[in-house]
Structure 1
Amino acid sequence: MQHLTDAGQQAIQQIAARHGFSPDAVTHMLWAVWSGNGSMAQFSHGEFGGSGQWMRGGMTMVGDMFNHQLKGRVDSLCSELSQLLASRSDLVPPAPVAVTWWPAWMGSPNATGAQNNTRYAYFANSRRLAVDTGGDVWVYDTLDHQIGGFSQQQGSGGGMTFSSQYGTVNLGSLPVVMRHGQEVQAPPVAAPVPTTAAPAPAGDAEAIFAAIERLGELQTKGLLTEQEFAAKKAELLGRL
């Protein structure tokens, strides 16, 4: 992490006094907003309720999720820091030019971030999301989602989800348009799922799990794509 200039440290002191946070907490948030290109921040500090996320014009999430007053203070702080970074260049020493890991034609992202061994770059205007997992770069079509934050599931799966106007969405439900710099053709429309694989009535857990097993068999036989299987599985599990 770089050091703030004298002007940056002075600005931190003034902002901390104005928002009622310590200079340490404001400095932590300044670097989080700076890392998110001024439009997004992922932070973890006790004064902000632990871990949380902020996106300009989107949602603010803090560890103390029901503390709406804290959410408002964090949003106000991040907004001011975002404006400060955009209007002044004397706060942070110039950083070396970074080499982008996403395809050059995508331009500059609206937000970037990293969790564990996964990093992502979100391009709201072109409706694209680039995800790099261990050097394997995927580009997704975000469709009509207005993404407000990302998170990575814990456990063996470790899949990524994001929040939008439709709630929490699994990354696997988005269409893949590029991988390793090569365009990915949309898969052909799969044949209708046989009625024997239709989801069971809501509340019947055994029937739902049996339906998921049958869908897995169809995927193994090539009758369903991985994305279609994941979407249908999520739909069935949502009925439990």
Structure 2
Amino acid sequence: MQTLTNIGDNLVKGISARYGLSYEAVVHMLVAVNNGGGSMAQFNCPELGGSGQWMRGGMTMVGDMFNNGLKNTIDNLCNELATILANNQVFPVIPAGTLGSNQWWPVNLGNPSSTGSQNNTRYAVFPNRLAIEKNGQVTLYDTLDHQIGGVSQQQGNDISLTFSSQWGNISVNSLPVIADDSFTQTHSSHNTNFAQSTDFAKQQQSPPETGSNDKMMSSESTAINASQYSVNETLDIIEKLAQLRDLGALTDAEFNEKKSDLLQRI
């Protein structure tokens, strides 16, 4: 069970007695509200009807959708817990940037524009970055040109979060994972195309092997292969290079140099 401070322990005991709930049930709801940043909670508590969702000032959803008394109880309980979290140290202090901390994302990202949790997954939105925490692992994504405005409600068994941007809804699985030594890339499968494109760029940038004869043969081979490119093939390569430039794998100067070289070979 979640460890509480002495203040938190006493507050939970008081709420437990007033609401007629077990100590464990109140702690469960306290953790859920805390994970939702004090503004929302997703929970699965048998004493409160099983699975449900609460949003501060918004809708409260429970399994027994017509049980308004239960909804009122959950709404009052979660509002009280949110107030307690805002004004008391109910959990032991954990250093920022640590998974157990309220600030679980890397400290170098600064303050997020929004945070929350859904489907037992926590998220934090930053300029051009999206941090996702699930099962004790944090994955950092590049949001590209998306201006993320909020998380969309998911239905069914899909545990992938979907966010809204100026281009509509965007799935986390469609965003590239940022390679960082401090993160485990648990969502690398959808980056296969990006990895292949990066290998292509490295091949384009790799210097020829040493030795004048080998260098001459390599240059001649490259020229022959390049001359066999059709216009469409050349444009496809330039498009891939442009994607690498947009993702930061190539500089503008490198992109323009490669593009000019390819266009001259058409």
TM-score scaled to structure 2, two decimals?
A: 0.48
Matched, 1:40 2:40: yes
SS of corresponding position for 2:94: coil
Contact 1:159–1:171 (Cα < 8 Å) also in 2: no
The amino acid that maps onto 2:178 is H
- Relative to its length, the structure with more strand (as a share) is 1
Aligned residues: 169
Per the alignment, residue 121 of structure 1 pairs with 123
SS of corresponding position for 1:77: helix
Per the alignment, residue 205 of structure 1 pairs with none
Per the alignment, residue 71 of structure 1 pairs with 71
What's the CA shift for 1:158?
5.0
- 1:120/1:129 Cα in 2 relative to 1: closer, same or farther (>3 Å)? farther
Per the alignment, residue 97 of structure 1 pairs with 96
Greater mean alpha carbon deviation, residues 22-31 or residues 69-78:
22-31
Per the alignment, residue 193 of structure 1 pairs with none
The amino acid that maps onto 2:91 is V
Structure 2 distance, partners of 1:158, 1:28, is: 21
- Relative to its length, the structure with more helix (as a share) is 2
Matched, 1:28 2:28: yes
Structure 1 distance, partners of 2:13, 2:133, is: 37
Cα shift readout 1:88-112 (whole Å, capped 9, x = no counterpart): 12x2221232344479546236433
Cα shift readout 1:101-134 (whole Å, capped 9, x = no counterpart): 4795462364333647xx34255x98x9655688
Per the alignment, residue 180 of structure 1 pairs with 178
Structure 2 distance, partners of 1:136, 1:7, is: 33
Per the alignment, residue 86 of structure 2 pairs with 86
Counterparts of 1:216-235 in structure 2, within 5 Å, are none
Structure 2 distance, partners of 1:106, 1:66, is: 43
Contact 1:152–1:161 (Cα < 8 Å) also in 2: no
Structure of greater relative contact order (alpha carbons < 8 Å, 6+ residues apart): 1
- 1:179/1:24 Cα in 2 relative to 1: closer, same or farther (>3 Å)? closer
- 1:158/1:14 Cα in 2 relative to 1: closer, same or farther (>3 Å)? closer
Any gaps of 5 or more consecutive residues in structure 1?
A: 182-240
Note the aligned Cα RMSD (angstroms). Answer: 4.1
Matched, 1:108 2:107: no
SS of corresponding position for 1:112: strand
- 1:77/1:20 Cα in 2 relative to 1: closer, same or farther (>3 Å)? same
Contact 1:56–1:79 (Cα < 8 Å) also in 2: yes
TM-score scaled to structure 1, two decimals?
A: 0.52
